A and B are shown apart, each in its own frame.
Chain A
């Protein structure tokens, strides 16, 4: 893919760059001035003018000085910091999709701040920004380290996005566990540039300015890096040192932005992307000494523009509760999808893993072994929990002879175990089908945004219709999943489900649905955000047998179809040409499998919330164990998925009992490293 824009010539800044910069400064200035006339106080343009000219009443003047101006300056700083950080990260990774979001810098900072909040310590803004910096740097180091020297591919972004998902899952569990200590953190995570006076801005501004100066000083070396490592070395540029310094400075900028306003999503991705087409015309913009500040200006325009948009379309009252970051995240998600569409993916689909084809006996042993594991985990799931039972109790219960207490416990615990088993198997089957049809080993209902769409549909119903039943929630989830998958697969189908494009579109969609869900929670249910979080964290909490029925029914149908059409699945997953050479038209079959897969993941989401990564891990592990023929993969993947979610559920409800963690959080913690491992392995 075209990831670099090598400087063609190194000319002095031309009039073009000056013009572009002047235009941007003017735009930002106009946005900034308009922004300070909006707010909850009755202070409009006239009062602002009076305040600035020293004629206003004391109250109005203080609103301008202590509330409007700090918010505007924070928006400027955050935008500049994120835009510049994105530009430099893209340059040193030679990756147009690199940004503080996609390299997990924001997620790392958020987690670090979440841990800090959970300890209940009240620390200064400065100390918390240091903590955020450490978190962001650590995450960036992990991502860049994983991607290794050849960090020129989409894999970097995929690894970062996956890590961000995992880290956010951990942070969200912290919020569930320490609701009082982390009060406000969830909303803050959506990103808002509101400020309590100038203190924060005054402390962060020097950091941003120093980092920016550092980047500008480093800009010539960054230019050199864009030529390629070897060429840069030839020019006498210390490649490693430059890269490390640039990443540290970028992380510093993102950490400052995160501390000031929470994560403002995707500005670091969009701003440099908007500069790129301009740079094609204005050649001096190719040089990073100019490009980094210009990207910063574009970032500032994006943040202030989003803030204004929010205030212009809603009332002041609502604007207080809707964070700016939600707006930028939705815009950014669309942006990510569009960029993914435009990617010229030079990267061929990873060659199929060379897998040995195990004998029939190995397959039999694997199935029997896994079935034993599954039975074991299911039994453990039933016996363990807040109160531990013995097998004899279960036997008595099954025979209707158990005592009252045991009957109670099992009556509520068994449906949860069943929900976990069915959801796990359904997600595994769904993942198997998607991976076959798209021939993409990274495709997974969670990563592709299908689960996010299902959750959006379900949350929409749950928040608007109180007391919605199991089947209607499943139906709403299916509608949501259907719409998102139509979008994701429809867009990715152009060019035949290319490896990275499909997953990137999916990740963009997943972020977009997550932002919309946050928006929905903030708007409809903001005094009980925890309730929705519980549901979103992929929990079997409160499931009874009727809730399990939809997923169980679809699972049975799906398994029968998958086994009956196993030959077709084998062919579809092989490559694009073989079926055609054989004279088969698999288009309809493919669509059928996709619909089935969406149905499976939607009902799984309705039964147990958004549980990620199972659809990725299970089919992979299954192929590694028994080869790639679907007659074998399907049952093994389903067994694995069921066991995985069952264990995650068991851990979630017993480790910190009587409090609980969602199974989805547990699978994210397991699944994220696995996803990253697959990426690393695929690189070779």
Chain B
């Protein structure tokens, strides 16, 4: 789960970076397109020069893959295809890309065997691996996440990838779709009188008899979307610089306050058990929390990639709005 986080965050960051430099014309897909050079700046500031829109693309992180799918580009290679299918159902793959290994250690051999014309990675991959990939094909490195502006980073990534693939119109459409979904969600919350609610978003895992809770603070992607929806983040713990995540235990939940609404994310497909309804069901710290007593605990839809792109976030908005307006 740690890795997926990173991936998602990186993808979001990359999208943001891309959008920032999306000033060039969308490349044509006709035969003369090849003659137009495209220069894209990655999240790490490095420039990538392409002879035309890239079509045969390998994505080493899921946020990048989600962006590609969103833009209507079928990736040729994806790291951990099975994992993507379980964790990112908001933007399902429409083809059967080659699995290029794990996200932390994608196989150079597999990537090289695909002869891609572009590799999209995130800055969570080791610098030495990126250096090596550059020998295989141009490597566009996008930011994995940026606590300073998660949503902005997400669109920057999308726009950067759109520029490299000549799909800038699709990126605009995706952004529009997201914004209208956001506005819709905001309105629905307001209509239900839920705007301004204090919300705590989390996921949890248990190993042996120990439960860890991961807090999505206001500088996380989900936390940022929550605030854009007009909600207030209830977490007082400080998140890490990039992902805005913090770890706490069940005791730590007592600091959330009385009027908080609790949402969490699980994943049935990936074999995760529901920590909050199973492992904690008999825990009296949990059961005596005000929001648990009030029944204000909501499991969001599975397959929302927490560090994904606009599609995942739309999926998330649907989930959180449905949860908070249920009564």
Chain B, interface SS category: mixed
Type the 1/0 row for A409-447, where 1 means its CB is closer than 8 Å to any CB of B: 101110100000000000000000000000000000000
Verify A42–B100 contact, CB threshold 8 A.
no
Q: Is the Cβ of B100 less than 8 Å from the Cβ of A194?
A: no
Give complex CA distance A42, B83 in Å: 39
Determine whether the beta carbon of A657 is less than 8 Å from that of B132.
Answer: no
Known A196-B280, A659-B102; contact A527-B243, beta-carbon cutoff 8 A:
yes
Cβ proximity bits A647-667 to B, threshold 8 Å, 1 near / 0 not: 000000100011110000000
B2 & A387 in contact (Cβ 8 Å cutoff): no
**A412–B112 contact, CB under 8 A?**
yes
Task: Find out whether the CB atom of B136 lies under 8 angstroms from the CB atom of A197.
Answer: no
Q: Are B283 and A66 in contact (CB under 8 A)?
A: yes
Q: Please give me the residue from chain A that is nearest to B207 by CB atom.
A: A184
Residues of chain B within 8 A of A197, CB atoms compared: 282-284
Taken residue by residue from 309 to 346, chain A's Cβ proximity to chain B (1 for < 8 Å, 0 otherwise) reads as 00000000100110000000000000000000000000
> Interface segment, B33-41, B122-130, B295-303?
B122-130
Residues 132-189 of A at the B interface (beta carbon under 8 Å): 176, 179-181, 183-185, 187-188
Contact partner of B136 (CB less than 8 A), chosen from A185, A386, A412, A528, is A412
User: Complex Cα distance A180/B267, Å?
Assistant: 11
Residues of A657-681 whose CB lies within 8 A of B:
657-660
Known contacts A41-B251, A183-B1, A320-B252: A543-B107 contact under CB 8 Å: no
Measured CA separation A649–B159 after assembly (Å) = 39
At the interface, yes or no: B30 with Cβ under 8 Å from chain A?
no
Q: Does residue A566 face the partner (Cβ distance < 8 Å to B)?
A: no
Q: Which of B106, B250, B272, B289 has the most CB of A within 10 A?
A: B250
Residue of B nearest to A657 (CB): B107
Please give, as numbers and ranges, the residues of chain B lying within 8 Å of A466 by CB-CB distance.
127
Known: A183-B205, A386-B113. A658 touches B248 (CB 8 A): no
Contact indicator B207/A387 (Cβ below 8 Å): no
> Would B288 and A58 count as touching, CB distance under 8 A?
yes
Contact of A234 with B by CB under 8 A: no
> Is residue A511 contacting chain B, with contact meaning CB distance below 8 A?
no
The interface size bin for chain B is 35 or more
Say whether A192 faces chain B, with CB atoms less than 8 Å apart: yes
Interface string of B48-92 (1 = CB under 8 A from A): 000000000000000000000000000000000001000000000
- Find out whether the CB atom of A526 lies under 8 angstroms from the CB atom of B135: no
Partner of A542, one of B3, B6, B132: B132
Contact check, B109 vs A657: say whether CB atoms are below 8 A apart: yes
Closest chain-A Cβ to B255's Cβ sits at a distance in Å of 6
Q: How large is the interface on A (under 10, 10 to 19, 20 to 34, 35 or more residues)?
A: 35 or more
Q: In the bound complex, what is the Cα–Cα distance between A659 and B105 (angstroms)?
A: 7
Contact between chains at B104 and A185 (CB < 8 Å): no
Q: How far is the CB of B262 from chain A (nearest CB, A)?
A: 15
Is the beta-carbon distance between A660 and B101 smaller than 8 angstroms? yes
Contacts of B83 in A (CB 8 A): 180
Q: A63-B285, A196-B250, A413-B109 are in contact. Are A658 and B100 (CB under 8 A)?
A: yes
A contact residues around B109 at 8 Å (CB): 385-387, 409, 412-413, 653, 657-658
CB–CB B270/A386 < 8 A: no
> Do residues B207 and A409 form an inter-chain contact, with CB atoms below 8 A?
no
Q: How distant is the Cα of A660 from the Cα of B128 in the complex, in angstroms?
A: 16
Closest to B129 in A: A542
From B3, B249, B252, B290, A528 is in contact (CB under 8 Å) with B3
- Chain B residues near A413: list those with CB within 8 A: 108-109
A529 within 8 A of B: yes
**How far does the Cβ of B60 sit from chain A's closest Cβ, in whole Å?**
12
Return the chain B residue nearest A316 by Cβ: B252
Residue A238, interface by CB 8 Å: no
Complexed CA–CA distance, A535 and B128 (Å): 11
B240 touches A527 (CB 8 A): yes
Given contacts A41-B251, A179-B3, contact A531 B124 (CB under 8 A): yes
Who on chain B is nearest to A113 by CB? B208
Least distance between B123 CB and chain A CB atoms (Å): 8
Given A180-B271, A320-B249, A526-B2, A408 contacting B112 (CB threshold 8 A): yes
Distance (whole angstroms) from the CB of B30 to the closest CB of chain A: 24
Instruction: Please tell me if the beta carbons of B112 and A59 are within 8 angstroms of each other in the complex.
Output: no
Q: Does B247 belong to the interface (CB within 8 Å)?
A: yes
Contacts of A113 in B (CB 8 A): 208
How far apart are the CA atoms of A39 and B113 in the complex, in Å?
A: 52
- Cβ contact within 8 Å between B115 and A408: yes
- A195 and B135 within 8 A (CB): no
Whether B110 is near chain A, meaning CB under 8 Å from some CB there, is yes
Q: Is A120 an interface residue (CB 8 A)?
A: yes
Q: Is A593 an interface residue (CB 8 A)?
A: no
Residues of A within 8 A of B250 (CB): 66-67, 196
The contact sample of 14 A-B pairs, CB cut-off 8 A, is A41-B252, A59-B254, A120-B271, A179-B102, A183-B2, A183-B272, A185-B207, A196-B210, A259-B209, A262-B208, A408-B115, A412-B135, A658-B100, A658-B101
Q: Which residues of A contact B (CB under 8 A)?
A: 39-43, 58-59, 62-63, 65-68, 113, 117, 120, 122, 125, 128, 176, 179-181, 183-185, 187-188, 192, 194-197, 199-200, 259-262, 317, 320-321, 385-387, 404-405, 408-409, 411-413, 415, 466-467, 526-531, 534-535, 539, 541-544, 547, 653, 657-660
